[in-house]
Structures are given as structure tokens and as C-alpha cells.
Amino acid sequence: MRAVIERHLTKLRARDFVSPDHENAIRESIRDYRDIPADRTVIRANVRLDHCTLLVDGVLCRYKDVRSGERQITELHLPGDFVDLHSFTLKRLDQPVMSLTPCRVASIPHDKLRLLTERHPHLARLYWFATNLDAAIHREWEVSLGRRTARAKLSALFCELLMRLQVVGLADESGYDLPLTQADLGDCTGLTAVHVNRTLKELRGDQLITFQNNRVTIHDLAGLRRAGEFDATYLYLERQHC
Amino acid sequence: MRAVIERHLTKLRARDFVSPDHENAIRESIRDYRDIPADRTVIRANVRLDHCTLLVDGVLCRYKDVRSGERQITELHLPGDFVDLHSFTLKRLDQPVMSLTPCRVASIPHDKLRLLTERHPHLARLYWFATNLDAAIHREWEVSLGRRTARAKLSALFCELLMRLQVVGLADESGYDLPLTQADLGDCTGLTAVHVNRTLKELRGDQLITFQNNRVTIHDLAGLRRAGEFDATYLYLERQHC
DNA sequence: CGATTTTTTGACATTCATCAATCTGGGTGG
DNA sequence: CCACCCAGATTGATGAATGTCAAAAAATCG
């Protein structure tokens, strides 16, 4: 049962030193594993929260609906991510979280997190780091949303997901599984599903990537990076932070 | 000399209880006040940092240049804001910070911040909160950038700035000073300067706001909020957080 | 007061959205 | 196992929002 948060620990270890003592403290605080079907609201916005939710498996997103009926996804969460670590200090979420695929999640009460971070300032900084990394990803999305063409937006997104999935061992050179619809990709990039479709066709035609059967197959990573103006420094993949 | 960080303390107090003890600890850690002309890079990206920078006066922005030569501003910083509190855990910035107006800044070494946060876990959470609020603002900008019309983007931006400036006493009912160019507003909203100009004309024609002589004059706040689909909950203006 | 930046306006181009229809593949009940 | 169903993918035709280019007017600055 404990093994299921391995991806989370892998992600932490990739960032900085985590002692066995820390790891045990984390393992013992995580509880309440549960499964969630696709397309469910997992956390509502503006409701007071007393625990944080860890994504064990599946894909979740933060999003906001706008009046016109469209949706903007503001971040995708992958296995090993805390989806609402910011609720520890914010106490509620400004945007809801929903499942895009069937998911498995676990939780950690804010009280435990408080103890954990007061006893281990190093862990406090490590989790603080994690929320700051979230913000860095938001910033990069702002750049995509504001100033990139449809082609570059999608290319950049596929590059980001590749790097993030590699950290937790869910991607290799050839590509990765991504059980999203083209409409979901449109909600991430501010495009319509129709235009995503046309752009994917173009990327396929240019031998960069194929997105089919819930899988991203990368044919030319260098070309994809170029198309998306992708520079991974915003993902802070180097070690030694806090 | 100490009085100059009052806006920062005002902002903290607006969020949660800050004891005199905490305030003194903060005051004693802040140093190295300096003035910066407009249009200067204040912090370069990807350079190792050992201190955080506090904005005392003026407007700074985080931004990223894209290949096409355009710029996307990802956040505006107002007096009282830490502009790179995230550098405490990230150790470097993923995006540079530049001055849009003449600015006054101060700094606090990471070492001091480390002591401050280890001795006062409450302050640690308060500053953690501050970086999470930054992320919430990023999320709202993502929504604007991805799914809002030019008219709504600008309206939402003017609403956000009104609320944020009110917290530090730099705005009243009638409006606020905003020494930015239309090109700067375009860089915030992902629009061209030309289109910003046309959209401002429209907002003026509709008696919502006037932006002239570096001042935003609000004629119809309710109308502006509607035009921008503005809901301030993402700014976490209520007290009692950490 | 000359020089530069910023704002404003017009004509035209482009990207992406919208609307609508068809196609496809996987799932389901009989 | 098959017929049906349905969400998702694909394509075409057309339209709207915003970008581009260019020039003039206005404001700002040294």
C-alpha cells in the first residue's frame, strides 16, 4: 500500500536530498487512497479545505469555465504531483480540479503537513519549491497562451509533458501515453478542438509527432522543441535546491 | 529609512496576523535600498541568486521574449510585492524581471530569510502564501490569455490592478496611477499595441474607463467587472490564512 | 524647441473560430 | 457475434477577431 506514493518520492528525490527519515515521515502522513472516474470534479473551488490531495495515477487538471461556455485548463497534473499543495496556505482553491481520466488519489491532512513542515524545515522548503515550480509552469503557459501560434503551443505542451513524465518514469524516447481528447488539448492551449485537429495534422505531416490512440509518438524531438521554442529550464530539473 | 517597507507590512497584515516580533524581524532583515531607472533588467534569468528583492515603489514585471520578437509579461509587480520570493527555493529565476517605470527596491539575503522562516514557521507560511497568491494570479491570467476577448482581457486587468493597489493604499474609487504604455498593456494581455489602442477607445466609448496621462479613471466599476468577468476571489483578500 | 516615443487611425492580411457534415472506432445490449 | 450507438476525429466552407503595415498626430523629454 505504501509503495503507491513512490512516484511522488521519486519526484522529490529528483529535486533534492530527501533523508529516509523524511521519507518515512511523508509515507506515514499519506492516507485515504481512493479511485475517481474520469470527468469528475475532484476538488471544488472556494470551499474550505483541511487536507491536500496527491495524484497517484491518472491525469487531473485545474481549470476555469468562462461565460461563453468555454473552459481554460491552467495546469495538468501528472502522477506524483500534489494537486492542491497550495491549499495548505491558501485554505481554499481559486479554481476547481477535475479528473480527465480515471484517477487514483490519496490525501494528507493540513495538520500533518503542518507538523511535517515545522519539524523538518528542509521539507517545508522542498514543498514550497514544489508550489513555486507550479507557478513556473503557469508562467510558461502564459507565454504560450499569449504569444505563440497554435503549432508552437501544442509543440511546447508535448515537450513539457515529455519531460515531466520522464521524471516519474512514464515516458521514454519514443513517446508517452496521454489519454486526453483533442478538446482537452484545446482547453490547455486556448484553441478550439477543430483547430487542434488541423494543427495535429500539420505536426504529423511535418514528421514531428503523432497523437493517436491516446499516445504521443515523437518522431523528431529536436524539431518539436524548435517548433515549440521549448527550453526546459523553467522545469528546474537540476538537483540541489532547498 | 525603515518606514519604506510599510507597504509590504501592510500587505502582510491584510492577510493574517503579524506580531510586532515578526515585524521587527522582517524590518531588520531588509537592506540595500536602491533606485532603478525605467526599462532596466533588474534580475536576469537563470543566474544563481542569494537574495530576494522587494519592490518599494514603481512597477516591475516578469516577462519572456519570444522568437518573433514579441514579449509576454507574465506578472506585474506593485509596491510592497516581493518580486522574486520564489528565488528563495528555486535559487534562480526562470524569467527575467525588468522595470517598467523608475523603481525603488530593497533586498533580503536568502540566509536571513532562511533564519526568519525557520524561527517563525508562521512567517514561513505567510511567505509561502505570498508565492501561492502569485501563482493564483498567473492562473487567472492564463484564463484571460486563453479564453477572453481583447475587451475582457483589458477590463479584467484593470480590475485586478485596482484591487491590488487598494490593498496598499495606492488606489481609490475614482481610479489609480498606472505609468505604463499601451504596448506594455499589450504585452500583459497578448495583444498588439494597436489593438490595445482600439479596445481602450471602445472601453472609453462605453463609459467604463479612461486610460490617459498614466492614469486609469474608472467611470463604471460594475460595468468594468462585467466586461472582464471579474471575480476577485482569486486574490484571496480575506484575512486569516496561515 | 527639435527629437523621440507614444498614441491614433486607416487599409488590408492572417489566424483561428464557427457551423455543419461525415467518418471512425470502441463499447454495449440483445 | 452483430447491429447499433455515441463520443471523438476529421474535413470543408465561411466569418470574426486580431495582427500587420504605414502614416500622421500628439505627447514627452532632454
The CATH number of the domain covering residues in A142-235: 1.10.10.10
Q: Are B160 and B235 in contact (CB under 8 A)?
A: yes
Q: Please list the rounded mean pLDDT of every run of 10 residues in chain B (242 residues).
A: 77 89 90 93 96 96 92 97 96 97 96 93 93 98 98 98 96 95 98 98 97 96 97 92 66
pLDDT at A84 over 70: yes
The answer to whether the CB atoms of A148 and B236 lie below 8 A apart is: no
Q: What is the pLDDT of residue A53?
A: 97
- Report the distance from CA of residue A100 to the C1' of nucleotide D27 in Å, as an integer: 52
Q: Which nucleotide is nearest to A195 (CA to C1')?
A: C16
Q: What is the pLDDT of residue A205?
A: 96
B155: left (phi over 0), alpha (psi -120 to 50) or beta: alpha
Q: What is the pLDDT of residue B205?
A: 96
Question: Within a 10 A sphere around the Cβ of B16, how many other Cβ atoms?
Answer: 16
Q: What is the pLDDT of residue B3?
A: 55
- Report the distance from CA of residue B76 to the C1' of nucleotide D28 in Å, as an integer: 24
pLDDT per position as a tens digit, A8-42: 999 999 888 888 888 988 998 998 899 999 999 99
pLDDT at A2 over 60: no
Kindly give the interhelix angle for B150-167 and B121-147, rounded to the nearest 10 degrees: 160
DSSP-based three-state secondary structure for B115: helix
- The order of strands in the sheet holding A71-77 is A41-43, A97-99, A60-65, A71-77
Identical fold for domains B2-133 and B142-235, yes or no, is: yes
For residue A112, what pLDDT band results from cuts at 50, 70 and 90?
very high
- List strand C contacts in A 116-145 (CB < 7 A): none
For residue A67, what pLDDT band results from cuts at 50, 70 and 90?
confident
Looking at domain A2-135, its CATH superfamily turns out to be Jelly Rolls (2.60.120.10)
For residue A132, give the nearest of B75, B90, B234 by CB distance.
B90
pLDDT per position as a tens digit, B139-189: 999 999 999 999 999 999 999 999 999 999 999 989 999 999 999 999 999
The answer to whether the CB atoms of A72 and B125 lie below 8 A apart is: no
Query: Residue ranges of the domains in chain A?
Result: 2-135, 142-235
Whether the beta carbon of A38 falls within 7 A of nucleic chain D: the reply is: no
Q: What is the pLDDT of residue A239?
A: 82
Report the top-level CATH class of B2-133. Answer: mainly beta
Supply the mean pLDDT for chain A: 94
Give the nearest chain A residue to B231 (CA atoms). A94
Taking alpha carbons only, the member of A92, A107, A78 closest to residue A48 is A92
* CA-to-CA dists, residue A210 to A154, A165, A194, A205, angstroms: 12, 17, 16, 9
The answer to whether the CB atoms of B136 and A89 lie below 8 A apart is: no
The mean pLDDT value for A154-173 works out to 96
For residue B72, give the nearest of A64, A147, A189 by CB distance.
A147
Q: What is the pLDDT of residue B242?
A: 67
Q: What is the pLDDT of residue B93?
A: 97
